[in-house]
Amino acid sequence: MSKEKTDQLNRSIIEFYDRLSAWENNVVRNKDYSLAQIHTLEVLGTYGSLRMKELAEKLGITTGTLTVQVDKLAKAELVERIPHESDRRSFLIKLTETGHQLYLEHDALHLKLTEKISQSLTETEAQTLVSCLKKMNADF
């Protein structure tokens, strides 16, 4: 791909990321749970139960930070620590029923946003977009 095209793609990605990021901030403000907490639920909902280390990696934070975050979420009964079956050093962090409910609520907002911003795409464009995103996610 030409330098110029990559540059254009880069711009568009950054702008898209910025907008999504601002949207997340605003959606979460004045709610009962913070962005960091909702984001944690979001990742758990998306990827399923994860170990501390895996979860921290997906969130881009250290395990130290995550420990206190999970403490809070566990106290609020949104999440529970399940002892790992074969590694006694580890837990699986798992959404509780309530946590999963909250995740679904937040996800519904995402879905509404996705509907809104994809409205002007044609069927084929949307198709290609999904396949591009999947490829990119795989190459991260």
Partner DNA sequence: CTCTTTATTTTGACAATCAAACAAACTACC
Partner DNA sequence: GGTAGTTTGTTTGATTGTCAAAATAAAGAG
Residues binding a copy of itself (CB under 8 A) = 1, 5-26, 39, 42-43, 46, 57-61, 107, 110-111, 114-121, 123, 125-140
37 binds, among a copy of itself, DNA, none (CB under 5 to 8 A by kind): DNA
C-beta separation of 92 from 51 below 8 A: yes
Query: Which amino acid is residue 15, in one-letter code?
Result: E
Alpha-carbon distance of 95 to 69, in angstroms, equals 14
Cα 44–chain centre separation: 8
88 scored as a contact of DNA (CB under 7 A): yes
Query: Which amino acid is residue 90, in one-letter code?
Result: S
34 scored as a contact of DNA (CB under 7 A): yes
Part in contact with DNA (CB under 7 A); list of ranges 9-17, 63-71, 95-103, 124-132: 63-71
21 scored as a contact of DNA (CB under 7 A): no
Q: Give 26 or 101: the residue with its C-beta nearer to a copy of itself.
A: 26
Alpha-carbon distance of 58 to 47, in angstroms, equals 9
27 scored as a contact of DNA (CB under 7 A): no
Alpha-carbon distance of 140 to 137, in angstroms, equals 5
Give residue for tokens 């949207």. 23
- Minimum distance, C-beta of residue 39 to DNA, in the bound complex (Å): 8
102 scored as a contact of DNA (CB under 7 A): no
User: In what helix (H) or strand (E) does residue 132 lie, and over which residues does it extend?
Assistant: helix 123-139
Site residues (vs DNA, CB under 7 A): 25, 29-30, 34-37, 51-54, 60-72, 81, 84, 86-91
